[in-house]
Amino acid sequence: MRLIVGLGNPGPRYAKNRHNIGFLAVDEIARIHRAGPWRRKFQGEAAEASLGPERVILLKPQTFMNESGRSVAEAQRFFKIALADVVVLHDELDLAPSKLRLKLGGGNAGHNGLRSITAQCGNDYRRVRLGIGHPGDKALVHAYVLNDFGKSEEPWVEDLCRAVADHAGLMAAGDDAAFQNKVHLAMAGRGWDDVKAVGKAQGRPD
């Protein structure tokens, strides 16, 4: 069994934020693979799905981003899932928009959700880094990630989440290289080879 976690902040206020692309991707996995109903469990929302022969638990922590680890740890303990079988989908400032990378372990790069999971569970879980680009100035990062995707960004966000969902069976099977390659080819085929970051951060300063 795998635990597939999407990171984000709960509630409609944050639903379309760049920081919530992990939630968006996991929602698309649930839709494409006809997951069971979302239920309030493990300080989050959880659903069961089958990705090919793999049974998985999908989880969206509802603790707010900087406490995500509490939800992940509770689900991991309940199902007795090895840390290497935990997959976390999250926004990545250091990847160009529409790009994806998957790796085991590594640094948290200032991401509060990853920092919380590492503190609660350990560091050697798999991370699916979903590129959102960087606003160009460190002082703008906080507002940038808590701002909604712009209208011009929505098509590639939808296509990236769909590509992740379409090939999630490879991710669940542990075939990371094939998963990355299939997503890359899908995005290239849709014309998303050279997406630029929006480069501005409007909205709330929270």
Of 17-21, 24-28, 56-60, 103-107, least confident by mean pLDDT is 103-107
The dihedrals phi and psi of 106, each to the nearest 5 degrees, come to: 105, -175
Cβ contact 131:97 at 8 Å: yes
pLDDT value at position 198?
59
- Does the residue 204 lie in any domain? no
- Does the residue 199 lie in any domain? no
- Does the residue 173 lie in any domain? yes
Q: Which amino acids are annotated catalytic?
A: 19
101: domain CATH number?
3.40.50.1470
Q: Is the pLDDT of residue 19 over 60?
A: yes
Confidence of residue 205 (pLDDT cuts 50, 70, 90): very low
Count of domains in the chain?
Answer: 1
The per-residue pLDDT of the chain, averaged, comes to 93
Residue-number span of the structural domain to which 106 is assigned: 2-189
- Does the residue 203 lie in any domain? no
pLDDT value at position 170?
97
In whole angstroms, what is the distance from residue 152 CA to residue 68 CA? 29
pLDDT more than 70, % of the chain:
95
Q: Please provide the DSSP assignment of 89-111 as one string.
A: EEEETTS-TT-EEEEES---TT-
In whole angstroms, what is the distance from residue 201 CA to residue 196 CA? 14
- Does the residue 136 lie in any domain? yes
Query: 141-200 pLDDT, tens per residue?
Result: 999 999 999 999 999 999 999 999 999 999 999 999 999 999 999 999 988 887 776 544
In whole angstroms, what is the distance from residue 20 CA to residue 148 CA? 9
Confidence of residue 206 (pLDDT cuts 50, 70, 90): very low
- Does the residue 206 lie in any domain? no
Instruction: Give every strand in the sheet of 2-6, ordered side by side.
Output: 39-41, 44-51, 54-61, 2-6, 86-92, 126-131, 100-104
- Does the residue 9 lie in any domain? yes
Q: How are the residues of the chain apportioned to helix, strand and coil, as percentages rounded to the nearest 5?
A: 40, 20, 35
- Does the residue 195 lie in any domain? no
pLDDT value at position 204?
34
Q: Residues with Cβ < 8 Å from 11, sequence gap 6 or more?
A: none
